[in-house]
Amino acid sequence: MTEANHAELVAPVTMASLQQELTRLVTAVWYKIDHTDGVGVSAHFARDATLIISRATARGTAEIDALYATRHARGPRVSRHCVTNLHVLEGDDVSAFAISTLLLYAEDGEAPRPRMSPVLVADVEDTFVRGDGRWLIQKRHIITQFQPEDGSGLAVPTE
């Protein structure tokens, strides 16, 4: 295949398509956390990814899996990670950076839960890499903006 033919098969990334693909990835991660307690969520992260939640850091997919295994071991939990305002600040065919807003409703126990207020409102800074034809999260930094004073409702360590 000539270079010209290859260029025809690989469409350049547009901001609209990048926005759509990254939104799909981000919502898939939160879906996995809400519906499987995060089991297998590391498949959406690069092998050497970094996940920073407040002052706690998980490095690599093994540590990310361990973080969510701890969450799962706590027992039944209801959570909904509502993501909005995903804004792609930079991106090309192989890397991107975006910020989104996370509203977390969560409580231990079985559904339905009585909690009505979010337990966390945060900015999520994601650095993405593209490899093997798909986007992965290389670095995720969750920066708390609002949470209850006692930190109630949070299931992953923040320190």
User: Which residues are 124's β-sheet partners?
Assistant: 100, 142
In the prediction, which pLDDT does 111 show?
Answer: 95
CATH of the structural domain 13-146, one choice from 3.40.190.10, 1.10.472.10, 3.10.450.50, 3.30.1180.10: 3.10.450.50
> How do the domains of the chain map onto residue ranges?
13-146
Taking only Cα atoms into account, the Rg of the chain, rounded to an integer number of angstroms, comes to 17
Q: How, if at all, do strands 45-53 and 56-59 pair?
A: antiparallel
In the prediction, which pLDDT does 75 show?
Answer: 92
Written as tens digits, the pLDDT of the chain (159 aa) is 444 443 444 456 798 999 999 999 999 999 999 999 999 999 999 999 999 998 789 999 999 999 999 988 989 999 999 999 999 999 999 999 999 999 999 999 999 999 788 999 999 999 999 988 899 999 999 999 998 887 676 766 555
